[in-house]
Amino acid sequence: MGSDSVAAMADTTVADSSPADSAGPADSAGPADSAGPADSAGPGQLWARAVAIGALGAVARGRALLDTLDANVGRAPAPEVRAVRSLASSTRASWLRQAGRHDLALHLDGRAALAVADLVGPGAGADTGAAMSEDAARWARAALGDALIGLAADNLGLGRFDASSRLLRRAGAVCPVASEDGGGEDWAVGDWVVGDRVLLRRYWVEAENALYRGDAEAGRRWVEDAVRLAGRCPSEYHRIKTRLIAAAVTAAGGQAGVAAGEAGAVEAEAAAHGLLPLQWAALQMLQGLAPDGGVERRLAATTAALRVSGFLPADFGAVSTGG
């Protein structure tokens, strides 16, 4: 991952998923097909494009881009290459998690963590034979943060709440909460892909973890942090997903009618931006909170479209109501 790929990633807006939103990294820097042919793109550009396409639900096409990325970088030991390989594995895991396949996602997130674990912390990069650049170190830390947060979401979806909590604590050590002015932390506040994006994902899963444990008040506090952070992020996907998680917290607090209204607004906004996986997740929430014939028909149509695009397996039948 040289300077071209770092620049490309810095210009993107990446998203991901977790149980409460039916589990969505997806992101969009613009039209998914606007960046040119895959064979002329660097690994970072391929990853960013795959994530953008996945946000629209076109997971089969996204996987093909990541296959090209993997073939291009091979097993090269450079920290920059390992970081982007880790991010690609986390992205594949996220797509599986979105379709409720947390058990399969777990293995890919574990692989993503292993790819960069020795590049973060004391003695980081000692085995690479050369000192890591500051830029490479930041990308490695973001990649490890993504992997740990993904593992926490996987375990949460599998009902392993204690394991999820432990992984969130580890993620918190990798991507600490930084002050608004950046003082006292070297975590990149305001640097979206390697900073705020990873923090926002952590807030999502912390909120979900609290809800799964029956602690609606803790869930509310975490989602308030997420809403504040999402307010300054460049990614429409991340802003909309944060609203969906906030709706889940509202429902858990006993305000089902209010939550249904929020989920309906999320469905409409996701549809307007072509973010089919988020639209599907919002419809699942609506089906649970305020079912009617219109919701059922839209959910069936969205599910069918996501089967065609590769987001859901071809044999996907009953709609899952959990991540």
Helix (H, G, I), strand (E, B) or coil at 179: coil
Q: Which residues contact 75 (CB under 8 A, 6 or more apart)?
A: none
N-term to C-term CA, the chain: 32
- Taken in order of first residue, the domains within the chain and their CATH numbers are 3-259 (1.25.40)
| Residue ranges in the chain modelled with pLDDT below 50 | 1-36, 129, 179-186, 318-323
pLDDT value of residue 56 = 97
- Amino acid letter, residue 146: D
Predicted pLDDT at 165: 97
- Please tell me the pTM assigned to this model: 0.84
The token pair that represents 25 in the structure block: 């990294």
User: Burial code of 259-293, b = ≥16 C-beta within 10 A, e = fewer?
Assistant: bbbbbbebbebbbebbbbbbbbbbbbbbbbbeeee
The half-sphere exposure of 269 on its side-chain side, counting CA atoms within 13 A, is: 16
Q: How many CB atoms lie within 10 A of CB 316?
A: 15
Q: What pLDDT does 298 receive?
A: 97
Which tokens in the block code for residue 88? 């690609």
Q: What is the per-residue pLDDT for 10?
A: 33
pLDDT for 39 equals 55
Whole-number pLDDT of residue 182: 41
- CA dihedral 273→276→196→22, nearest 10 degrees, is 150
